[in-house]
Amino acid sequence: MLKTLALINFALAAFDCWLTRRRMNQYGIWVELNKTIQTLSKYLGIETGVMLGIMIPVLAQTAVFYWLNWPIAFALLIGFRFKLFIVQLHSIQLEKKLTEQQKQIIHELGTRSSSYPRTPPPMRDTSLPNKETDDTMGPSNLITKPPEKGPQDE
């Protein structure tokens, strides 16, 4: 009985490893919420980080529960892992739907892009002075322009 529970526990953990590795390869290491797995994957690589971050705790729990002959604790752990498995299956379905919708949106934008009018360039605000065309404004006039002669200078 304990061997069967241990195998079920490892099978559910192996699925968790596979899915975590797949998502981290696809979306990056920051998609994983477990900070230990993130850190291990950052320094050791995704494959090694996921295997160490998930399977070592599962191996330790399984060894303790097997050694102490605690089938009830095994059953609770498997119940937790099974619930996690169900949530992950729903997550995979949601991910597939979102990917299909994203592809559909990209396809629609690609086919409609030629029919959309181009946006005109932004208009220049003419109420503000322009440094290139208006040489009477700004402090640069005081330095670069020679002083004008007045009637008293003549």
Q: Which residues, 6+ apart, have CB-to-CB distance to 140 below 8 Å?
A: 131
Q: Cα torsion at 54, 86, 91, 16 (round to 10°)?
A: 20
Q: Kindly indicate the confidence band of residue 108, based on its pLDDT and cuts at 50, 70 and 90.
A: confident
Whole-angstrom distance, CA of residue 48 vs CA of residue 37: 9
Global pTM reads: 0.63
What separation in angstroms does the CA of 78 have from each of 60, 65, 71, 92?
14, 12, 10, 20
Whether residue 8 has pLDDT greater than 90: yes
Whether residue 38 has pLDDT greater than 90: yes
Domain residues of the chain, as ranges? 2-112
